[in-house]
Chain A
Amino acid sequence: MGNGSAAQNGNVIVIKDLVKQFDDITAVNGLSLEIRKGEMFGFLGPNGAGKTTTISMLCGLLEPTRGTAQIAGYDIGRETQKVKGLIGVCPQQAAVFPFLTGLENLRLFGSLHGMETPAIKQRVETLVNQAGFADAAKRKTKGYSGGMMRQLNLMIALVSDPEIVFLDEPTVGMDARARRRTWEYIGALKDQGKTVILTTHYIEEAQALSDRVAIIDYGELIALGTPEALMEEHEANDLETVFLNITGRRIMEGL
């Protein structure tokens, strides 16, 4: 996978001095970090911290104002199509075609990723069976509940069996039970060797799922490390306290 030195030394994503400005607002300000292959990496921060903007730049949805990023050795600006071929993205807003069934949505997105029909069929069957979604998948998504919609949203991100998966607030709006179930599902991705980049403002979620966490505030990286190391460094029992110790504010304050 990939073609550059970044992929060779075990880092599948390399971000250097990434900046995104919207008029006079700096949404991401000089972000630099590396994400290892097979890592479950969490972007944690309050709403508006720049998490989604960072992911949008990495996925090729937004052009960086300055800086570079490579995914599997491919430059996100110059080799966007190659990057898009490697990644799966689960957006915050569950976006599916309402007049298609769950199965048809999955097959369509498999096709948009250039998969052959037999491979799509096999992959879709695996996904819906794993998620216990086989019956629901036969129905038009227009009648889906919010939870079912989010489940399908996640499966669409995985339909091409991507090596790198971006999950933008995957459990927002879910009840506690559905959230736990989704965590298990996301946790299983790590066992499959996938690199998962997760944005969340749920402290519990970041702690439970992430191998390493980048805490972002006002577009800047304010802490980076394993949850355990960060808590130890800041003499805290959780990442909320880590954030509080660094910024003097609570992550959930802005919600």
Chain B
Amino acid sequence: MNMRTMAALVAVELKKLYRAPMNLSVMLLMPIGLTLVFYFALSGVSNDYYPTPVTNHFEYLLPGVMGYAVIYMGMMVALSLSEYRSSGLLKRVEVTPVPPAIYLGSHIIANMIIAVVQALIVLLLAWILGFDPQGGVVGLLLASLFLALLGVTAVGLGMLVAAVAKDSGAASGLSAIFIVPMMMFGALLAVFDETTRTIARFMPNYYVSESLSVIFHTGRLSDPIIGRNLLILTAISLVIVTAGIQLFKRAEFK
């Protein structure tokens, strides 16, 4: 029953995306807009002072922008769960025999899929705009794995926020607490020296930005940074999603 139930719930979350025009436009426009803004603002800026082989600042920041598109899903999850709570849907699901872990697991899977697609939209648009990603198909798959793990982390953060926030307004405000530092530091926007890089190391998306930089800028898939970061990110995502599920379960389910 559980796999079939989870598949049905994942399908509901994906249907919500294309049935609600606002959700669909946020999903498509956010990564497209983000990429275009960064492209027009930074593609003409030389990247002489960064130790990477890319030639302009847009390409340098592109892996961070991809990670940011994923992290943003955390807010969408927090809003969605808050809305389900206020509409009574969470309680309605709770009186069915479906265990909370299955219900929350369906949110993780659905949003992980959406998050990876969003990040790949960024990459596709960047490629159309002239970026030449290295690493081939294997590199792309490896990058997708990093993005999926970051998606799990984002959903976990969304659950943590939804457990604390009383309504969707509070959820969106609280989400900014983790989104803004991740954007500034984890996405490498404000990483200029060792101090800011040390701060960035506390952000889960930093490990994605760094790994995707190695993959797409150098194509060195056997670089030890990738394996190390994969382990770190896996550990972070497990801790955050477990905490998110437990806290949300405690707040919402008996």
Contacts and interface: CB of A to CB of B under 8 A. Distances in A.
Contacts of A80: 254
Given A81-B99, A99-B16, A99-B20, A112 B254 contact: no
25 contacts: A59-B95, A61-B94, A61-B254, A63-B254, A80-B254, A81-B97, A81-B99, A84-B96, A89-B92, A91-B91, A93-B88, A94-B88, A95-B87, A95-B89, A99-B15, A99-B16, A99-B19, A100-B12, A109-B96, A111-B4, A112-B5, A113-B96, A113-B97, A114-B1, A114-B5
* Interface majority SS (helix, strand, loop, mixed), chain A: loop
Contacts of A60: 94-95, 254
Interface of B: 1, 4-5, 8-9, 12, 15-16, 19-20, 87-89, 91-99, 254
A106 to B, nearest CB: 12
Nearest to A94: B88
B6 to A, nearest CB: 10
Interface in A114-158: 114, 140, 156
Contacts of A59: 95
A26 B93 CA distance: 27
A62 B254 contact: yes
Contacts of B94: 60-61
Contacts of B5: 111-112, 114
Interface residues of A, number: 29
Nearest to B7: A111
A87 B254 contact: no
A112 B97 contact: yes
Contacts of A96: 89, 92
A130 B186 CA distance: 57
Contacts of B9: 108, 112
B220 to A, nearest CB: 44
A85 interface: yes
A97 interface: yes
